[in-house]
Amino acid sequence: MARIKKDQAGYVVREAFLRLLPLQIFGIVIVAVNTFIDSLITSRFLGTDALAAIGLFSPVASLLGISMVLITGIQILCSKYIGTGEGEKVVSIFSTGTVFLTAVSAAAAVLCLLFRNGLASALGAGGILHGLLADYILGFSLGIPGQILFGMMVFLPLNNDMKRSYAASVSMVVLDIVLDLVFAVVMHMGTLGMGIATSLSNVISAAIVYAGFVHQNKAVHLSLKNLSFGELPAAAVYGLPNLMFTVGNTVKAYVLNGTLLRVAGDPALAVMNVQNNICAIAGAVPLGAAGAFMALAGIYYGEEDRQSFVIVAEYALRLGVILAACIVALLMAGSSVIPSMFFTKGEAAWDISRRMLLLFPCWLVINIIIALLMRAYQCQGQAKLVNILSLAENLLIALIAAVSASLIGADGVWLAFPAGDLICLGVTAYFVWKFCGSLKLKSENWLRMSPQFGASPENCLEFALKDMQDVINISEKVVDFCRAGKIAEKTALLSGLAVEEMAGNVVQHGFEKDSKEHSVDVRIVIKEGKVTIRLRDDCKSFDPMERLKQFTPDDVTKNIGIRMIVRMTEEVFYQNNAGINTLLIRI
């Protein structure tokens, strides 16, 4: 048995992040690839006019992202409730969000259907583009509820249901490709067929996602009992940065489309569609890293685990920057290959596309730094700074693009991306300097962490248990720690017993299931006269509450230790997140 060092504690944290990261990136990439394939099929089979028309729809597609305001806010609340062991609140706020988003998305679908011609005109479509865009809106609108509810896939890792996430994502792409070809190419339904194909793939994929929230034994599941609409405003406040981003992104899309039409015409608008797709795929790295970080950081923040919060932030940043740099290099290297997928060499659009791939990609490395810092601030409730950055980033890009394009043409639009994010990073540095009084490369400074966040060393005890002998020896140390913290004798003895019993179950049932080396990380915190015990491990799932259901009157000794701990403690809460078991015990 040994004290948990930073490297040792970081192992489990990094393992959880690495399990979440591929899923987060994959989910975003799949949606982006879905759009990319739409654009590719549109360009090849329906022509540049159809591609330009669908590109004009991008401000509305961005605006639909407003749903992520609530989804992100609910995700943060759920993570914190998991960290504090409030399982019923997790189910309540998730279910409430689902009901609300279903109603709002259905209303949005009806509005788009009824006013599609006016919407096409408002987006700048004229002549042949107007009819093409109106048809696309007609087909696309049918699937708006599916598209929005598919975003709730981010909650599947909280049920350790990563396979379903992959299945839903792959289904979306496969269905979209097949249906695109059937409706738009075989049945000659044009842009209307493209919209219908996207709608059907969204609805079916959302159904696959929600099949994972049906069973009541899941930590996150759908229940129409005890809906908590009163918590939606709090979730919206947490997700407000997404609203700022969505508003800014919508304005940016509108300004960039208008700017490119003005300085380079329809070919540049078609290239903007391609850039949006590439940006969405490449942007999966910063968004995926930020999403995986936030899923874990919210839990650690709820647990007041300062060390784990910092570890996951540092690891996410380091790995994210490396991945982003590799993607930048690949995009630049493919600057003469990728354009040929959409346009014929020698076309104006081909040359504009090639220059775009040489100028804008370096934005990615700066963007991942900003994305991770904003998620860290968001988890800590630093709304003002996050809202400023979320809105300013896109508005700056739009402003710089509008000015620079007048001077150097379409190239000014592509250069506006890294330039805008560089300015935002400078603004962030200024706020860090104001918060800390200095500008150092220390992680806790850039994360703007309050000195009050986390348990003080004298009120926190951490150990790693490697075998049953460690488990046997831990009880006395826990009792002595509680006594030193002026905890009542009965509570101190119960704390030692709880750690010994629950950690012993993990060692007995988890360590011998595979050939990997395991440990149980134990953290005991004293706060306001109460004891909170957290056990964390990467073994096979072991839910003590499920074990209790195995009790039968014929064998009163079965699981007697677990039953005794659950009966005598204030609360026991278990969660498996990304394959990492976490057990919280409050005494």
The pLDDT tens digits along the chain (587 residues) read 445 454 455 667 787 788 878 877 877 777 777 777 777 888 888 888 888 888 788 778 777 877 888 888 888 788 778 767 677 888 899 999 999 999 999 999 999 999 999 999 988 888 888 999 999 999 999 999 999 999 898 888 777 787 888 888 888 888 988 999 999 889 999 899 999 999 999 999 999 999 999 988 787 889 988 888 888 888 888 777 777 877 888 888 889 988 998 888 888 888 887 888 788 788 888 888 888 888 788 778 877 788 888 888 999 999 989 999 999 999 999 998 988 888 888 888 899 999 999 998 999 999 999 989 988 888 887 878 888 888 888 999 999 999 999 999 999 999 999 999 999 999 999 998 988 888 887 888 898 888 777 777 778 888 877 778 888 788 888 888 888 888 888 888 888 888 888 888 777 777 766 667 777 788 888 887 788 888 888 777 766 655 555 444 444 445 566 767 777 777 777 777 767 788 888 88
Residues 222 and 115 in one domain: yes
Q: Which two tokens stand for residue 304?
A: 């007041």
Residues 165 and 23 in one domain: yes
The secondary structure of residue 229, as a DSSP letter, is: G
Q: Which two tokens stand for residue 327?
A: 């993607």
Residues 62 and 112 in one domain: yes
**Residue 526 falls inside a structural domain:** yes
**Residue 543 falls inside a structural domain:** yes
Residues 9 and 100 in one domain: yes
**Residue 452 falls inside a structural domain:** no
Number of Cβ within 10 Å of residue 191's Cβ equals: 26
Number of Cβ within 10 Å of residue 169's Cβ equals: 24
Residues 47 and 148 in one domain: yes
Q: Which two tokens stand for residue 449?
A: 């962490």
| Interatomic CA distance for residues 270 and 411, integer angstroms | 15
CB-CB contact of 296 with 313 (8 Å): no
| Interatomic CA distance for residues 351 and 332, integer angstroms | 14
Residues 127 and 189 in one domain: yes
| Boundary (domain end) residue, out of 446, 471, 504 | 446
| Interatomic CA distance for residues 136 and 64, integer angstroms | 16
Residues 422 and 497 in one domain: no
Across-strand partners of 536? 521, 582
Residues 406 and 486 in one domain: no
How many domains, the chain? 2
**Residue 124 falls inside a structural domain:** yes
Residues 134 and 156 in one domain: yes
Question: Is this prediction's pTM over 0.75?
Answer: no
DSSP string, 390-407: HHHHHHHHHHHHHHHHHH
Q: By CB neighbour count within 10 A (0-12 exposed, 13-18 middle, 19+ buried), where does 446 fall?
A: buried
| Pair type for strands 520-527 and 571-577 | unpaired
- For residue 471, what are the domain limits? 457-586
**Residue 451 falls inside a structural domain:** no
Residues 163 and 132 in one domain: yes
> What does the radius of gyration of the chain's CA atoms come to, in whole angstroms?
26
Q: Which two tokens stand for residue 227?
A: 């809906």
First to last CA, the chain: 23
| Boundary (domain end) residue, out of 425, 446, 467 | 446
Exposure on the CB side of residue 232, measured as CA atoms within 13 A: 14
| Pair type for strands 530-537 and 580-586 | antiparallel
Exposure on the CB side of residue 95, measured as CA atoms within 13 A: 21
Residues 412 and 518 in one domain: no
Max Cα–Cα distance, the chain, nearest Å = 85
**Residue 324 falls inside a structural domain:** yes
Residue entry with tokens 């997700």: 239
Q: Which two tokens stand for residue 226?
A: 């005890």
CATH number of domain containing 574: 3.30.565.10
Residues 18 and 159 in one domain: yes
| Boundary (domain end) residue, out of 398, 414, 446 | 446
